[in-house]
Chain A
Amino acid sequence: MITIENLSKNYGDIHALKDTRLTIPEGVCFGLIGPNGAGKSTMMKILCGIIDQYDGEVKFDEMSVKEDPNWFKKNIGYVPQDIVLYEKFSAISNLSFFGEMYGLRGKALKERVEEILVLVGLEKRGKDAVKTFSGGMKRRINIGCALMHNPKYIIMDEPTVGVDPQSRNYIFEMIHKLKAENKTILYSSHYMEEVENLCEEISLIDNGQVIESGKVTDIIAKHSKPGVYVEAPGIEESMLQQFGGVLKKGEGFLIQSDQVLILVDALASWLKQESYPVLRLEIAHMSLEDIFLLLTGKTLRD
């Protein structure tokens, strides 16, 4: 279990994290969701020891990180947001290097390199220089490097950014395998559907603070209200406020209401009366992204 208590980190006048509290249970895939600059990466870098100057407390299995920084570093695998590899080295050399940095040697190292190459689906390209790989393949090796020492905790900072669908599927498969091995995974992403599919629990972060945390289903049940989605060229948010709370969603609007059938009827009459061409008019439920927008007033890509 990872426990974060009153975690704060400032960069000059900028408060990257403000008294953040979070508990990440053992053996789950935990999603961190927030827009750029929300504090996700700062939190992850504190957790994996890159940032060691901060206020508050971080505990792994009830042991404070400050007590024994080396212990937790040996038990954490960090997948950075950027691809950080030696481009002129082969995949095997990169994996071996990171394995050696965690103390693996000889036969154990060689066997682990082979296991990881199979896990990331690049066993046939092991001897090739990384610079010859596609972006997705590099991402997979980037993840593989973090898994070389078989860590108990895995911290993944947006591991699927700029990845082709094939590599994305490999990465998802990898994460499912790691979950099956009871690893604790902290996963941050901009892609809400990824988080919904992969993570049992999530935290929504904005402005350095956790604004909601818990199981995905619980959060949706807590904040989601039924509503009607309407898409018609020419209509504006202000015109729809007479029908209830309005959220901009894609090309249209989501209007919240407990009486969706009545709302559909009212909207249809109004659209007909105002002669707007209707593209979509349907009953809809709020997604995680809608809930994030509802709670923060921001989209994830702000």
Chain B
Amino acid sequence: MIATLIKKELIRLLKDKGTVFWLILLPIFFIFIFGLIFQDRDYSFEVHYTDLDQSVASKQFIQSVSGIKGIDLKAETEIEDSKERIETGKIRTYFVIPQGFESDLKDEKSIKIDFFYDGTQNAGQVVEPVRAVLNSVVATYQDKKIEGFVKAQFPQDEALAKQVLTAPIELQMNEIQVKKVNTITTIIPGYTVMFSFFSIIILAQVFLKEHESGMLSRLLSTPMKRTQYLIGMWIPFVGMVLVQIAVLFGFGYLVYDLKLGDIPAIIVLSIALSFAVNALGLLITFLSKNENIAIAATQVIALGGAALGGLWFPIDLMPETVQKIAVFVPQYWAQKGYVDIFSRGAQLGDIIPSVIVLLSLAVVCFVGALASYKYYLKDAKH
């Protein structure tokens, strides 16, 4: 009996074009779009300049700036025009090397480089890094000046000169990265987890349609037991979410070179996620009076959970309060588990907390759904 219901439901799901769209095509579209935006991208800041001196020294200065990773210099000829473009928001930063730059440098006179920038609040993210870069380049000229002065003062004592010129603090760079991963490593699980929750809409539609159309009552006139109906109708959705996860990760692996990592860990976490999503779906369905309520509740949970759970932005960038709330959101634990597997080489043992949280949610929701099931049956259209 259960096998018959599972077979029927799987065929029905396959015949429903909406299922494929919502669960496979739409997330692939999102992954594709965000993949285009973020994949292996080196962030660079466009900096505009005008060199009025056109000397060897000014060209060296420009080379020093352009040699810094993330800075993309664009030469301008018209100062007023460039300033106007900042005003209209077309460019964010602009500096002018003055005439006499080289001669003033040789004469050790103070040189003023005008730095123009967009002062609106939302431009700060672009302006501040550029300002820091320019300050850093300017500082190297100061260092050279000090070096020349010290060497001139202590021509015989190189050791003393070296001691004076050595920076009191040195920042030692040590990169720790277990696996070489790209940005897509967080985008793919993020959208996979988010869209796995959209399967609740399909689950609710199917259950409520059978409830409203009289099919549930019709089936209750057969020798089918009520528990058989629940299990036979529910299992295909658990399988559907697992297929969805497999297809989306497979897409990531084939198209974006997603580094999958420990497969048993992925399987266990995916099963836990599927159970949690579909148990929550059952609870929402049985508590909803109609399809619209179920869809609205699902959207709140799917989208709200995605935002709070770090599926759209890295959780570390979020306010502390949101980070504290995130641990109560199932999406957070699913995303954490997948990112740990993909980025940090986590094994099955490492993702147990995520699995426990998701399975606990599944059990709680399933118990709640069972308690509501009798009312769902009682209200079925006869």
Contact = CB atoms under 8 A, between A and B. Distances in A.
Interface residues of A, number: 24
A17 to B, nearest CB: 14
B1 interface: yes
A84 B382 contact: no
A101 B1 contact: yes
A49 B4 contact: no
A45 B378 CA distance: 13
A70 B223 contact: yes
B213 A82 contact: yes
Interface stretch (A23-31, A73-81, A224-232): A73-81
Interface in B8-24: 8, 11-12, 15-16
A48 B223 contact: no
A101 B4 contact: yes
A50 B223 contact: no
A158 to B, nearest CB: 13
B221 interface: yes
A49 B218 CA distance: 10
A45 B217 contact: yes
Interface in B190-238: 213-215, 217-224
B223 A101 contact: yes
Interface string A224-257: 0000000000000000000000000000000000
A45 B215 contact: no
B222 A102 contact: yes
Given A45-B382, A97-B8, A82 B214 contact: yes
Given A45-B382, A51-B382, A100-B4, A86 B12 contact: yes
Interface in A31-50: 41, 45, 48-50
A74 B223 contact: yes
Contacts of B381: 82
B223 A102 contact: yes
Contacts of B8: 86, 97
Interface string A55-94: 0000000000000001001101010101010101100010
Contacts of A101: 1, 4, 219, 222-224
Given A80-B214, A84-B214, A88-B12, A48 B4 contact: no
Nearest to A142: B218
A5 B221 CA distance: 21
Given A41-B382, A82-B213, A98 B222 contact: yes
Q: Size range of the interface on B?
A: 20 to 34
B207 to A, nearest CB: 14
A73 B11 contact: no
B222 A80 contact: no
Interface in A97-133: 97-98, 100-103
A100 B12 CA distance: 16
A138 to B, nearest CB: 13
A81 B364 CA distance: 38
Contacts of B11: 89, 93
A100 B218 CA distance: 14
B250 to A, nearest CB: 27
Given A41-B382, A73-B222, A102-B222, A89 B217 contact: no
Nearest to A99: B4
B13 to A, nearest CB: 11
Which of B219, B221, B223 neighbours the largest number of chain A CB atoms within 10 Å of its CB? B221
A86 B219 CA distance: 12
Nearest to B217: A50
Contacts of B382: 41, 45, 50-51
A78 to B, nearest CB: 4
A76 B217 CA distance: 14
B223 A84 contact: no
Contacts of A93: 11
Contacts of B220: 49-50
A82 B4 CA distance: 23
A35 B15 CA distance: 40
Which of A70, A86, A98, A101 neighbours the largest number of chain B CB atoms within 10 Å of its CB? A101
Which of A41, A74, A97, A98 neighbours the largest number of chain B CB atoms within 10 Å of its CB? A97
B218 A80 contact: yes
Nearest to A104: B4
Interface of A: 41, 45, 48-51, 70, 73-74, 76, 78, 80, 82, 84, 86, 88-89, 93, 97-98, 100-103
13 contacts: A76-B221, A78-B218, A80-B214, A80-B218, A82-B214, A86-B8, A86-B12, A88-B15, A88-B16, A89-B12, A93-B11, A101-B223, A103-B223
Given A49-B221, A93-B11, 16 more contacts: A50-B217, A50-B221, A51-B382, A73-B221, A73-B222, A78-B218, A82-B214, A82-B381, A84-B218, A86-B12, A88-B15, A89-B12, A89-B15, A97-B4, A101-B219, A102-B223
